[in-house]
Amino acid sequence: MHVPADHGGSTNEATREALRAGLRQARRHSGVPVLFAGTVSGDRLVLTDFLGTRTTSMRDLHVSTGAGLGGRVVAQGSPAAVDDYVAARTITHDYDRPVLAEGISSVLAVPVRVRGRCRAVLYGALRERMPLGDRAREAFLAAGSRLSLTLAAREEVDDRLATAEFRPGLRDLADLEEVRAVHAELRSIAPAVTDPELRRRTDAATERLARLGAPLAGTPTVRLSPRETDVLSQVALGLTNAEVAERLSLTPETVKSYLYTIMRKLDARTRHEAVVRARRLWLLP
């Protein structure tokens, strides 16, 4: 029996690059001046990547689970923030020296969860005692969601390669991402196809892409409608509801309604979990 690899302790260059991309995205959409991130290894969060910092005081800082703001986020699995780090009573102060040496006061931390476990944490910070606004929070949540999908995709590739489930022509992440991009593009075009036979062939082609590498025996135990597949394929690329709506000529409320139905069918609590489960069921590539 194949036992999936424990990805929680790996901090390779691909993961580091994904972290840096997440930080750049968060900075671009939030305007927050200080950003940093780290990966979880065992019971420790290790801070590795920084944007806008003035010192190296936090570089390679090891944060224990449950300690400080980051350790609290790892333990509880949900975002947390403090508006005045020095006076905060909701966190421990094990790491005051390196944090205060950097001169930051207001901090937001967002966990990056994959397969139910926290794999990394993204931080945004200000040097003033004031809360980060809704725009910043939404930007970091979006960056965390996209990073979750990226890391989940990498782990899914590793697991499938380990069990030799991929066909010989689909051997690396670049190939897989290209298949996913083509699948999503076809799903965005499909609703505009009015010819019934051409639409049937389009749907069949995207289903074949989704089933690349799937076991020959067995059929999916869950069925998504074509429109639900259209929506979820775009969400799998990391698009927001508004972006999905624009691409599929829907309203954001309609996209939200489809997502609710999709998550119910897949017994998923989040959009990220819905994408992961759909891929495991071969409903998406």
Spans of all domains in the chain: 7-147, 165-280
Give the closest residue to 123 by CA, choosing from 81, 173, 177, 67.
Answer: 81
Average pLDDT value for residue range 187-199: 75
Number of C-beta neighbours around residue 38 at 10 A: 26
Strand partners, 117: 114
Q: Is pLDDT above 50 for 161?
A: no
Average pLDDT value for residue range 190-214: 77
Q: Is pLDDT above 70 for 87?
A: yes
Q: Is pLDDT above 50 for 10?
A: no
Please give the helix or strand (H or E) that residue 109 lies within, else none.
strand 106-114
Average pLDDT value for residue range 164-177: 55
pLDDT in tens, 23-41: 998 999 999 999 999 999 8
Which amino acid is residue 182, in one-letter code?
V
Q: Residue 85: what pLDDT?
A: 95
Reduce the DSSP state of residue 223 to 3 states and report it. coil
Note whether 213 and 170 are within 8 A (CB): yes
Q: Residue 204: what pLDDT?
A: 83
Q: Residue 14: what pLDDT?
A: 72
Q: Is pLDDT above 50 for 79?
A: yes
pLDDT band at 164 (very low <50, low <70, confident <90, very high): very low
What the block records as the tokens of 102 is 């950097």
Q: Is pLDDT above 50 for 13?
A: yes
Distances (CA, A) of 51 to 8, 20, 61, 131, 222: 24, 9, 15, 19, 43
- CB contact set of 68 (below 8 Å; sequence gap of 6+): 91, 92, 93, 94, 95, 99
What the block records as the tokens of 149 is 């999908």
Q: Residue 176: what pLDDT?
A: 75
pLDDT in tens, 91-113: 999 999 999 999 999 999 999 99
- CB contact set of 173 (below 8 Å; sequence gap of 6+): 14, 153, 154, 157
End-to-end CA distance of the chain: give it in Å, rounded: 23
pTM to 2 decimal places: 0.59
Q: Is pLDDT above 70 for 160?
A: no
Average pLDDT value for residue range 113-125: 92
165-280 topology per CATH = Arc Repressor Mutant, subunit A (1.10.10)
Q: Is pLDDT above 50 for 260?
A: yes
Q: Residue 130: what pLDDT?
A: 92
Q: Residue 186: what pLDDT?
A: 84
Average pLDDT value for residue range 171-175: 60
Please, what is the average pLDDT of the chain? 84
Length, in residues, of the chain: 285
| Class of the CATH-defined domain 7-147 | alpha beta
